[in-house]
Amino acid sequence: MQVKEIPKNKVEAINCFHFIDGEFVSSDTQFQNINPATEEVLGTVEEGGKKEVDRAVKAARKALNGEWKTITNRERSNILRRIGDLITERQEEMAVLEALDTGKPYEIALEMDIKRAAYNFYFFADYLTSMGTEAYQQDQQALHYAIRRPVGVVGMINPWNLPLLLLTWKLAPCLAAGNTAVMKPAEWTPMTATVLAEICKEAGVPDGVVNLVHGFGANSAGAAITEHPDVDAVTFTGETKTGTAIMQAAAPTLKKLSFELGGKNPNIIFDDSDIDEVIETTLKSSFMNQGEVCLCGSRIYVQEGMYKEFLEKFTAATKDLKVGDPFESGTRVGAVVSKEHYEKVMSYIDIAKEEGGTLLSGGGRPANMEKGYYINPTIITDLDRDSRCIREEIFGPVVTVVPFQEEEEVIKQANDTHYGLGATIWTNDLRRAHRVAQQIEAGIIWVNTWYLRDLRTPFGGMKNSGIGREGGAHSFDFYSELSNVTIKM
């Protein structure tokens, strides 16, 4: 992927204000936004809490019953489409802001995060005008049909790894279904959400429909959203332990919840698969976005017949990945998001060494980078199955590789986790592909590919990786209240 021009010097980082009832507003306190690639201050972020969330919820409640309620689906769809168009018009600028905030390569931010964010709006704009309703004829006795209404005011709490992509994955269906929103981006990555608020206004979203409050999680804006009695539903993407805290906070007011949580996804490689395809895709599924994608396949299992060849080729290809400045063309791995996260990932590398693991690549910073939270892509072998590096989510450019002999054995190992988000299976044996896919405990299973998405399909995790599904009709179901009408004939 080559981008003709990287407009870094034409785009300035922005100070991030809340957006409440159609206006940018400030708080009494601010915090600093740090560029993880340089450790420099990018700007300030307003620090919201109970007061700001309460204002935003009041605005969202009022807007729910205003003009937003009366417009047709066609008009709402047009507004969504305009938001998509405005993101597309500003895609280079937004990709710069995303790369500055997260440390990810600009080219990835442009191709993956920002284009997909625009597409989220196009997709749900189309979906809204083409979907039908559920209806059943019960013999000659009755006709049953379901009507949809908005859930109401929806709180959206977002992670830092794919900031705009995941925020729009929630906001687009939320608006399509006629709700109003109070969004909270992760504290590390506030910039593109701020631009999105401006875009929503320009696209014709009525004041109060989309609100944005910056801040932290516990005892801050995040908690204020989850505890607010007038928030009807909360959609959250982030760590599993945060999901537990949100569920507890939301329990007294019985909010509807959608959770997309952590993962420790197996990548199972049988020795009949095509090694070159495996290597090319496994590089991405291991290290794309610095391994900071919930769907990354961080536990690699390779059948013995291919183990040696896989390790040689995968290690060589990993060492060839360009690590460094997110704004240099061809960079494949940038900086991880923050000092705290850098220290967390590095601590797992130390744990692996203590547990007797062998490092085939990485394990530290690139020699030429003095500043920034860079970690070389790290491959670890020789760990036993109870190793913390195999059991716990690291969420960085670190993978473990384990050999296996039999299908049954690898299925057991793949399922030996509290998580159940994604899995990848590599094999050219059609029967085995189906057989293994049906036994793997994960919500999203790829065979001979990774990260190939169709937004109509159910997306989400089982076990401790989530509650509910997003995507197409699944998103609409979360963002709607369905009422059944029965008419006796």
Q: Which residues between 266 and 295 bind ligand NAD (CB under 6 A)? A: 294
Span from 111-119, 238-246, 278-286, 400-408 in contact with ligand NAD (CB under 6 A): 238-246
In the complex, least distance from residue 95 CB atom to ligand NAD, rounded to whole angstroms: 19
| Identity of the residue, 162 or 411, whose beta carbon is nearer to ligand NAD in the bound complex | 162
CB 483 within 8 A of CB 134: no
- Adjacent-strand bridge partners of 488: 142
Q: If you search the block for the tokens 């405990």, which residue do you land on?
A: 441
In the complex, least distance from residue 363 CB atom to ligand NAD, rounded to whole angstroms: 22
Residues whose CB is less than 8 angstroms from the CB of residue 43 and which lie 6 or more positions away in sequence, other chains included: 13, 14, 15, 16, 32, 33
Residue 198 bears catalytic tag: no
- Tell me if 103 contacts ligand NAD by CB under 6 A: no
- Tell me if 52 contacts ligand NAD by CB under 6 A: no
Q: What is the DSSP letter of 431?
A: H
Of 260, 292, 393, 470, catalytic: 260
153-192 burial, b if ≥16 CB within 10 A, otherwise e? bbbbbbbbbbbbbbbbbbbbbbbbbbbbbbbbbbbbbbbb
Span from 181-189, 275-283, 376-384, 432-440 in contact with ligand NAD (CB under 6 A): 181-189
| Identity of the residue, 76 or 170, whose beta carbon is nearer to ligand NAD in the bound complex | 170
CB 106 within 8 A of CB 327: yes
CB 114 within 8 A of CB 96: no
Q: How many CA atoms lie within 13 A of 442 on its CB side?
A: 29
- Tell me if 296 contacts ligand NAD by CB under 6 A: no
- Tell me if 158 contacts ligand NAD by CB under 6 A: yes
Distance from chain centroid for Cα 59: 27
Span from 7-15, 26-34, 235-243, 325-333 in contact with ligand NAD (CB under 6 A): 235-243
Span from 71-79, 83-91, 101-109, 239-247 in contact with ligand NAD (CB under 6 A): 239-247
- Cα angle at 72 between 71 and 77, to 5 degrees? 105
Distances 284 to 98, 223, 344, 422 between C-alpha atoms, Å: 19, 34, 22, 14
Options 36, 103, 173, 217; binder of ligand NAD; rule CB under 6 A: 217
Distance separating alpha carbons of residues 472 and 452, to the nearest angstrom: 16
In the complex, least distance from residue 211 CB atom to ligand NAD, rounded to whole angstroms: 15
In the complex, least distance from residue 187 CB atom to ligand NAD, rounded to whole angstroms: 5
- Tell me if 242 contacts ligand NAD by CB under 6 A: yes
| Identity of the residue, 319 or 391, whose beta carbon is nearer to ligand NAD in the bound complex | 391
- Tell me if 159 contacts ligand NAD by CB under 6 A: yes
Contacts with ligand NAD, 119-148, as mask; x by CB under 6 A: ------------------------------
In the complex, least distance from residue 440 CB atom to ligand NAD, rounded to whole angstroms: 16
Span from 30-38, 139-147, 236-244, 448-456 in contact with ligand NAD (CB under 6 A): 236-244
- Cα angle at 312 between 310 and 313, to 5 degrees? 65
The secondary structure of 200-246 as a DSSP string is HHHHTPPTTTEEE----STTSHHHHHHH-TT--EEEEES-HHHHHHH
What are the φ/ψ torsions at residue 61 (nearest 5 degrees)? -65, -45
Instruction: Give the pairing of strands 23-25 and 18-20.
Output: antiparallel
Options 59, 114, 125, 246; binder of ligand NAD; rule CB under 6 A: 246
Options 260, 298, 374, 480; binder of ligand NAD; rule CB under 6 A: 260
In the complex, least distance from residue 260 CB atom to ligand NAD, rounded to whole angstroms: 3
| Identity of the residue, 160 or 478, whose beta carbon is nearer to ligand NAD in the bound complex | 160
| Identity of the residue, 20 or 213, whose beta carbon is nearer to ligand NAD in the bound complex | 213
In the complex, least distance from residue 189 CB atom to ligand NAD, rounded to whole angstroms: 8
Closest CA to 267 of 455, 465, 440, 457: 440
- Adjacent-strand bridge partners of 425: 268, 447
Options 25, 245, 275, 445; binder of ligand NAD; rule CB under 6 A: 245
Q: Which residues between 408 and 447 bind ligand NAD (CB under 6 A)? A: 421
In the complex, least distance from residue 293 CB atom to ligand NAD, rounded to whole angstroms: 7
In the complex, least distance from residue 291 CB atom to ligand NAD, rounded to whole angstroms: 11
With 0-12 / 13-18 / 19 or more C-beta atoms within 10 angstroms meaning exposed / middle / buried, residue 431 is: exposed
Distance from chain centroid for Cα 11: 25
- Tell me if 302 contacts ligand NAD by CB under 6 A: no
List of residues contacting ligand NAD (CB under 6 A): 157-161, 166, 184, 186-187, 216-218, 222-223, 226, 237-239, 242, 245-246, 260-263, 294, 393, 395, 421, 461, 466
Residues serving a catalytic function are 260
